[in-house]
């Protein structure tokens, strides 16, 4: 959860402060009305505006060098490191049979919720905390409710993934005129026309093969007959291919 991590939060705060420091200065004439009249005379508005522009440019250069994105990120990471060092020190002082819940724990994940202690007393609390039966009951009830909601959400996620898979399988049916209709056997349909062409071609090939078989010459000797038979078969195939 990068958006809610300590580094992200501190980096956002540092960026907001840098933006305020980088805001350009604006020239105002009120100070001229309040200031006493100098002996050398007042500065012109153009001169003052040029000075203010140069100062703003210097401020921009300074902030770009000192408050770079890398520097801001580095400071934010140092803050998070110091924070977790303190948390780790507190955890080491905790009793062995207690459970420590990190502040950055993602309570939207089922394994994290299941790792929470079942009772309030099992939590690592400050040594000076006071016993509160109401808080203990509330903690147990909220933990159970959170666990049930998390399991229900996981089940809905699995169901959603299954529905998306089914939806992907049904995508070809989104445009039935293009994807379904051409594959149906209907009068004057594409498939029906193709079947008719196949029937006509089959009848022509069958008739032509019969004509070739009836016009075959009788055999003479063995060698000549085998040569003519081979040639006749090739001729038959060539004639059939010509028809197709």
Neighbours of 16 (CB within 10 A): 9
Residue 185 lies in a domain: no
Residue 210 lies in a domain: no
Residue 51 lies in a domain: yes
pLDDT at position 161, please? 95
Biggest CA pair distance of the chain: 140
Phi, psi of 177 (to 5 degrees): -65, -35
Residue 86 lies in a domain: yes
| Residues linked to residue 99 through DSSP beta bridges, in sequence order | 123
Same domain? 16 vs 79: yes
Same domain? 120 vs 166: yes
pLDDT at position 215, please? 63
- The structure tokens listed for 208 are 């032509």
Total domains, the chain: 2
Residue 116 lies in a domain: yes
Classify residue 76 by burial, with Cβ atoms within 10 Å: 0-12, 13-18, 19+: buried
Long-range contacts of 110-113 (CB under 8 A, 24+ apart): 110/147, 110/150, 110/151, 110/154, 113/143, 113/146, 113/147, 113/150
Same domain? 81 vs 57: yes
Measured in whole angstroms, the distance separating CA 162 from the mean position of its chain's CA atoms is: 18
Measured in whole angstroms, the distance separating CA 161 from the mean position of its chain's CA atoms is: 15
pLDDT at position 182, please? 65
pLDDT at position 114, please? 79
Boundaries of domain holding 146: 105-172
Residue 34 lies in a domain: no
User: For the residues of 105-164, what is the DSSP string, one character each?
Assistant: --TTSHHHHHTS-SSGGGB---TTPPP-HHHHHHHHHHHHHHHHHHHHHHHHHHHHHHHH
Same domain? 1 vs 92: yes
Same domain? 60 vs 142: no
Q: What is the 8-class DSSP label of residue 103?
A: T
Same domain? 83 vs 164: no
pLDDT at position 202, please? 86
User: Given 138, 172, 206, which residue is the final one in a domain?
Assistant: 172
Q: Which residues contact 103 (CB under 8 A, 6 or more apart)?
A: 87
Residue 81 lies in a domain: yes
User: Given 148, 172, 196, which residue is the final one in a domain?
Assistant: 172
pLDDT at position 86, please? 77
Q: What is the mean pLDDT for each group of 10 consecutive residues in the chain (244 residues)? A: 73 89 79 69 76 89 86 88 75 53 71 77 59 79 88 92 92 74 66 81 82 60 50 63 55
Residues counted in the chain: 244
Same domain? 2 vs 91: yes
Same domain? 111 vs 84: no
Q: Using an 8 Å Cβ cutoff, are 124 and 102 in contact?
A: no
Tracing tokens 């993602």 back to the chain, one arrives at 106
pTM over 0.75: no
Percentages helix, strand, coil for the chain, rounded to the nearest 5? Answer: 70, 0, 30
Residue 131 lies in a domain: yes
User: Given 134, 152, 172, which residue is the final one in a domain?
Assistant: 172
Q: Using an 8 Å Cβ cutoff, are 73 and 9 in contact?
A: no
């Amino acid at each position: 959860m990068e958006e809610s991590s300590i580094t992200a939060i501190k980096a956002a705060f540092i960026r907001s402060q840098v933006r305020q420091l980088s805001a350009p200065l604006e020239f105002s004439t009120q100070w001229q009305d309040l200031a006493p009249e100098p002996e050398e005379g007042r500065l012109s508005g153009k001169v003052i505006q040029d000075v203010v522009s140069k100062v703003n440019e210097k401020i921009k250069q300074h902030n770009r060098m000192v408050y770079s994105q890398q520097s801001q990120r580095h400071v934010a990471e140092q803050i998070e490191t110091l924070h977790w060092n303190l948390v780790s020190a507190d955890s080491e002082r905790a009793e062995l049979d207690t459970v420590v819940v990190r502040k950055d724990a993602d309570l939207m994940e089922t394994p994290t919720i299941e790792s929470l202690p079942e009772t309030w007393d099992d939590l690592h609390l400050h040594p000076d905390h006071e016993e509160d039966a109401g808080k203990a009951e509330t903690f147990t009830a909220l933990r159970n409710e959170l666990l049930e909601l998390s399991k229900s959400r996981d089940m809905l996620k699995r169901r959603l993934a299954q529905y998306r898979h089914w939806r992907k399988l049904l995508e070809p049916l989104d445009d039935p005129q293009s994807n379904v209709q051409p594959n149906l056997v209907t009068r004057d349909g594409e498939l029906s026309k193709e079947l008719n062409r196949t029937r006509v071609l089959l009848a022509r090939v069958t008739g032509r093969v019969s004509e070739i078989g009836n016009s075959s010459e009788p055999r003479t000797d063995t060698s000549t007959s085998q040569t003519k038979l081979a040639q006749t078969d090739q001729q038959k195939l060539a004639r059939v291919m010509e028809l197709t």
